[in-house]
Amino acid sequence: MPALNCQMEHGPSSTNSIIGPDSQDHEEPLCAITSDKMEDPVRILNSNGRFENELYERSALKNWLKINPTSPITRLAVKEIVTEKPLFGLPIDKIKDPVQIINSQGQLEEQVYERASLDYWLQSNSNHSPATNLEIKEIVETKLPYDIKILRTAKKIGITALKILGSLALTLICTASYAIVGAAIGALVIEAVAAFTAIALAAIIFCAIIFLIAALGPSIGPSNPHPTPAPAPCPSPSPSINALPLKLAKGGAIAGAVIGGALGLYIGINVSKNLFWKGQDLFSEENKNIFFLRG
């Protein structure tokens, strides 16, 4: 029986070798970028539609692709990142896209494969079955038992529901947070502008009075021998005038809340999309750019 694909320990540029199942060479594969052992190995399907030989730690490859959107080895565009799985011995409930082989004798072979693993095998090993070495007539989708189908469907629904709830929660938190900050900043800005305006007006009036006193000073004096009646008391400011600063601050808070809420909504939607639907880290470079409205 032909064997599994395994990457040998030859540093960052190492490639996978095809070895037999009884081979004594069982060295653990290393990441082609970091040369470290891998917990989540993946393989690249490039723009030419071929699986590349090198294996990578998923996180290391994702970090590479953030800077260089091409394969580290071939420099071809990356079409898909495929999880590396063994060709044999994988339980059917662990196979994402199960397929079986109908060989040249018209027999449906019992062995179930992960489609991507089988495609990679056939890329390097002509059109023969890995299990029987007979020529492959057709590759067909495996009919899964109903219990596995039900579990997979329930899992997909559950994961999708959690993603939706997480996206809504994060978006609401961002919207509310930015709205509160925007309201506070808006109120402070309006109050500061109002205070500055009042001080500026007071300074202008004071300067105008000083100027008038200086210009008319010599002519100021009692020219009328008759006593001047006392001026009527000034009426107190109306409540509407007293409430003006409060109204201005409230208007500024509302405007700030609307602007901040709109920014928070934009940030929440985009960060949720990257976090829950694209699988990026919360503090990835792209999310940081969104948080701080850079680029």
Asked, for residue 224, whether it belongs to a domain, the answer is no
Asked, for residue 236, whether it belongs to a domain, the answer is no
Output the pLDDT for position 35.
92
Q: Are residues 45 and 175 in the same domain?
A: no
Q: Are residues 273 and 161 in the same domain?
A: yes
Output the pLDDT for position 36.
92
What is the average pLDDT value for the chain, to the nearest integer? 79
Cα gap 165→174, rounded to integer Å: 14
E strand or H helix at 44 = strand 41-46
Q: Are residues 153 and 256 in the same domain?
A: yes
Q: Are residues 178 and 58 in the same domain?
A: no
Structure tokens at 65: 């692709």
Full residue range of the structural domain in which residue 102 is found: 90-144
Asked, for residue 223, whether it belongs to a domain, the answer is no
DSSP letter (8 states) at residue 125: S
Q: Using a CB cutoff of 8 Å and minimum separation of 24, what contacts does 124-128 make?
A: 124/18, 125/2, 125/18
Q: Are residues 32 and 77 in the same domain?
A: yes
Q: Are residues 79 and 163 in the same domain?
A: no
Q: pLDDT tens across 47-101, in order?
A: 888 889 899 999 999 889 888 889 999 999 999 898 888 888 778 778 888 999 9
Asked which of 46, 62, 84 is the last residue of a domain, the reply is: 84
Asked, for residue 219, whether it belongs to a domain, the answer is no
86: left (phi over 0), alpha (psi -120 to 50) or beta: beta
With beta carbons less than 8 A apart as the criterion, state whether 56 and 41 touch. yes
Q: Are residues 187 and 250 in the same domain?
A: yes
Q: pLDDT tens across 38-48, in order?
A: 999 999 999 88
Asked which of 53, 68, 84 is the last residue of a domain, the reply is: 84
Beta bridge partners of 43: 82
Number of domains in the chain: 3
Q: How wide is the angle at C-alpha 269 spanned by C-alphas 268 and 275, nearest 5°?
A: 85
Cα gap 96→45, rounded to integer Å: 17
Q: Using a CB cutoff of 8 Å and minimum separation of 24, what contacts does 103-106 make?
A: 103/129, 103/132, 103/134, 103/135, 103/136, 103/137, 104/134, 104/135, 104/136, 104/137, 105/134, 106/137
How many CA atoms lie within 13 Å of 230's alpha carbon, on the beta-carbon side? 3
Task: Say what the pTM is.
Answer: 0.51
Output the pLDDT for position 17.
36
Mean pLDDT of 182-204: 86
Q: Are residues 266 and 198 in the same domain?
A: yes
With beta carbons less than 8 A apart as the criterion, state whether 21 and 1 touch. yes
Cα gap 282→159, rounded to integer Å: 18
On the question of pLDDT at 172 being above 90, the answer is yes
Cα gap 43→55, rounded to integer Å: 5
Q: Are residues 70 and 178 in the same domain?
A: no
With beta carbons less than 8 A apart as the criterion, state whether 74 and 293 touch. no
| Token pair 């800077």 in the structure block, residue | 67
Name the amino acid, one letter, at 66: K
Mean pLDDT of 182-210: 86
On the question of pLDDT at 12 being above 80, the answer is no
Asked, for residue 228, whether it belongs to a domain, the answer is no
Q: Are residues 6 and 113 in the same domain?
A: no
Give the domain CATH number at 68. 3.30.40.10
Name the amino acid, one letter, at 190: I
Q: Are residues 75 and 14 in the same domain?
A: yes
Q: Are residues 278 and 164 in the same domain?
A: yes
